[in-house]
Structure 1
Amino acid sequence: MEPVALALVLLSAFLHALWNALLKRQEDPEAGVVSVITVAVVLGGLWALGLRGEAFPTRSGWAWGLCAGAWEGVYLFSLARSLRYAPLGLAYTVARGGALLLVWPVSVLWLGEALTPLTVAGAGVLGAGLVVTGLVRPRGSAARGIAWAGVSAVCIAGYHVAYKKALGAGAQPPALFALALSVALPLLLLTRMRGGRQGAVLQQVRRSPLLVLATGGLCTLSFALLLTALAHVGAGAVLTLRNTSIAFALGLAVLQGERPGRRQVSGAVLVMAGAVLLGWPA
């Protein structure tokens, strides 16, 4: 992986963990995620204003963008649910690790991503770190949160592949981001309306407007860096390396008062070691 792409993915990983940690701090993460994505949609639209050339030169790119948006909508809903019930470090590990296990076979068998000894070793070490980190038996309501984190894992794998296919069909990252979140936001709003809790979103904004704006801005920047890297690097490599955000999430969880055990700390070390192997120039 080129050094520039490596830096983009690592920065994206940190920002992704940071905006998830800020979402966890909100009193109602399910209401908070709606306001955060609303901010991200506005910022994504402003980013797309700087486009040069056609946003979606092919119908395939447009269709994959819509598909990515559907995956994003379910992912964001399940993410908020998992953060409501489970600790940040544990929920994040299950979601990102599960996505890794799903997307690598797809990338190699369907997207034609090449394998090298270093990438295989890196993926193996990183995967072992995810397994070690996740060897914690959830108790009480945390078990429900982990189940939702499993749903998030499927969605993360889905939107990574959809984004990669859209970019491969010529879609430009700013337009793709704006389209996907414009599809995801109505899905989130629909879940709030069905639950009769749409007023909680406005209450969340009034209660902590700066937190909502900061979280939305970090979310936007994280995805912008991800799509920029994904346009030039394979989906499996990007998703695997981006899972270094688990180590960042564990550190942020400690700052929020969580106390990860030895297994989670050991897993974080393995995750970082795998990232180094995966990102080592060929």
Structure 2
Amino acid sequence: MSPVALMLVLSSAFFHALWNALLKRHEDPESAVVGVISVTVVCGGLWALGLKGAAFPTSGALLWGLVAGVLESGYLVSLARALRRAPLGLAYTVSRGGALLLVWPVSVLGLGEHLTPWAVAGAASVLLGMVGMNLVRPRGAVGEGVLWALVCAACIAGYNLAYKRSLSEGAQPPALFTLSLGVALPLLVLQRRRHEAGWGVLCRKVMARPLLLVTAGVLCTLSFSLLLIALADSGTGAVLTLRNTSIAFALGLGALQGERLGRRQLAGAGLVLLGAVLLGWPR
């Protein structure tokens, strides 16, 4: 990974943790995510203005972009549910760490990324950290939050692989970003509409904190756009794992919001972070 790509991924990691922390502060994250992604789609459309050349030069590029959008909607729904039920640090670490364990085998076997001793050590560290964080099975709402974080992990792994396939087929990042979230948004709206008493109730919940939603939407746009730019020229496994240094940012932001993890969970999060660095560090 080049130094420029490294800086892009680290910046993306910080913005990603920050918009997740803002979503956590909303009284109803599952409804608020609709507003965040609405802002993000608008920002993506502005980013795509002036695009030169074919946005999706092959049918494969378009198809993988659509697949990424469906997986993005699953990611956003499961993320909001995990954040509503579990602490930010716990939900974030399980979802991002779980995605690592799913992406690396596919990247090595299907996308030609090299498996090194550092990568094996990093994967082992991630696995040990996730097990350590959940040695005692979380109960009640927190337990449900961890399960949703695992669903979120599968969606994260899936949309990153779909993004990489679309980019390898020649898709341009601004168009891919806008398409995927444009697909995800109506799916999110329909999913939330089934759980509300009416459109008016949903709109009131979405607009309850407009400044928070706009800020989170802009940060989400920065996070995903920087990720796609880095992903275009770097391996999926390396980008995703290094981006998971955002776990450290999420733990810090969670602490600022008054969350406190036990020593075992902090040690587990540290192992996940170490594994991400070992997997993604340029060499």
CA distance in 2, matches of 1:187, 1:221: 22
CA displacement, residues 72-116 of structure 1 (integer Å, 9 cap, x when unaligned): 011111111111111111111221111111111111111111223
SS in 2 for 1:146: helix
Q: How far did 1:275 drift?
A: 4.1
1:144 matched to 2:144: yes
Stretch moving more, 177-186 or 130-139: 130-139
Q: Which runs of 5+ in 1 are unaligned?
A: none
1:23 matched to 2:23: yes
Corresponding position of 1:239: 240
Equivalent residues of 1:247, 1:272 under 8 A apart: yes
Corresponding position of 1:199: 200
1:51 matched to 2:51: yes
Corresponding position of 1:105: 105
Stretch moving more, 36-45 or 231-240: 231-240
Equivalent residues of 2:97, 2:126 under 8 A apart: no
SS in 2 for 1:192: helix
CA distance in 1, matches of 2:179, 2:77: 18
SS in 2 for 1:195: coil
Stretch moving more, 50-59 or 154-163: 50-59
CA distance in 2, matches of 1:136, 1:254: 21
CA displacement, residues 224-255 of structure 1 (integer Å, 9 cap, x when unaligned): 01111111111111111111111211111111
Count residues with an aligned counterpart.
282
CA distance in 2, matches of 1:120, 1:162: 24
1:223 matched to 2:232: no
Pairing 1:31-70 to 2, within 5 Å after superposition: 31-70=31-70
Corresponding position of 1:214: 215
Runs of 4+ in 1 over 4 A off after TM superposition: none
CA distance in 2, matches of 1:253, 1:136: 21
Q: Which runs of 5+ in 2 are unaligned?
A: none
Partner AA of 2:71 in structure 1: W
SS in 1 for 2:140: coil
Task: Normalising by structure 1, report the TM-score.
Answer: 0.94
Q: How far did 1:205 drift?
A: 4.5
Corresponding position of 1:84: 84
Equivalent residues of 2:238, 2:281 under 8 A apart: no
CA distance in 1, matches of 2:109, 2:216: 36
Stretch moving more, 232-241 or 169-178: 232-241
Partner AA of 1:150 in structure 2: L
Q: 1:142 to 1:268 in 2, by over 3 A?
A: closer
CA distance in 2, matches of 1:44, 1:71: 18
Partner AA of 2:158 in structure 1: G
Q: 1:170 to 1:230 in 2, by over 3 A?
A: same
Corresponding position of 1:269: 270
SS in 1 for 2:218: helix
Identity %: 67
Partner AA of 2:33 in structure 1: V
CA displacement, residues 96-139 of structure 1 (integer Å, 9 cap, x when unaligned): 11111111111111111122333333444344334434445312
Q: How far did 1:162 drift?
A: 0.3
Equivalent residues of 1:6, 1:279 under 8 A apart: no
SS in 1 for 2:227: helix
Q: 1:281 to 1:235 in 2, by over 3 A?
A: closer
SS in 2 for 1:207: coil
Equivalent residues of 1:32, 1:204 under 8 A apart: yes
SS in 1 for 2:258: coil
1:73 matched to 2:83: no
